[in-house]
Amino acid sequence: METKQKGDIAEQATVLQALKLGWGVLTPYGDRLPYDLVFDTGENFVKIQVKSAWFDSTKENYVTDNRRTKTNRRRMIRSNYSANDFDFAVIYLQDLEVFYIMPVEIFNAYGSEIHFVESEKRQRKPKSAGYRNAWHLINNKSHKTADAIGQKNP
């Protein structure tokens, strides 16, 4: 399966999950923006970057690249995201139908890759484990933003 196809599957799985949560989903026109989707949680608009993870059989974990990748005349150009590019990254592990939901500052804090360990053999869970299926983080951000707006406009 091609990389673009895996990305399309991850994006559609993310849309389906957001709809199941009762959120509206907006898709930007074109692919030049640093985010893939916008969720309307009913209280706020939240920009989402969707990534697909692949299984690394040598390390026995899932991996995703946390950099922006563009192709320019047969050349691949990678660069880091900025804190304002999106609000959350949603990383989809297709084989397991599992999502990791990470705030942009956590996502950007990793090096060039993020590893997700799904094995129960480890004694200590990795930092990323706290973001497994953590859809509530998006809703919490939405409520905090709405509360802050309410405080500014009594």
pLDDT at 55 over 50: yes
- What is the pLDDT confidence band of residue 64, given thresholds at 50, 70 and 90? very high
pLDDT at 154 over 60: no
Given this model, what pLDDT does residue 151 score? Answer: 45
Residue among 111, 18, 21, 120 nearest 63 (CA): 111
Given this model, what pLDDT does residue 108 score? Answer: 93
Query: For residue 70, what are its two tokens?
Result: 């563009």
User: Rounded CA gap, 30 and 115, in Å?
Assistant: 29
Residue among 38, 18, 102, 29 nearest 64 (CA): 102
Using alpha carbons, list the distances in angstroms from residue 98 to 6, 26, 95, 150. Answer: 14, 22, 8, 34
User: Rounded CA gap, 37 and 139, in Å?
Assistant: 15
Q: Report the b/e string of 42-77 with b at 16+ CB within 10 A.
A: eebebbbbbbbbeeeeeeebbebebeeeeeeeeeee
User: Rounded CA gap, 133 and 142, in Å?
Assistant: 17
Q: Which CATH architecture has domain 3-149?
A: 3-Layer(aba) Sandwich (3.40)
Query: For residue 85, what are its two tokens?
Result: 């590019």
Q: What is the pLDDT of residues 114-141, one digit of tens each?
A: 989 887 766 677 788 899 999 999 987 7
pLDDT at 147 over 60: no
Given this model, what pLDDT does residue 54 score? Answer: 93
- Domain range list for the chain: 3-149
Reduced to 3 states, what is the DSSP secondary structure of residue 126? coil
What global pTM score does this model have?
A: 0.86
User: Rounded CA gap, 10 and 94, in Å?
Assistant: 7
Q: What is the pLDDT of residues 103-118, one digit of tens each?
A: 999 999 998 899 898 8
Query: For residue 11, what are its two tokens?
Result: 């994006």
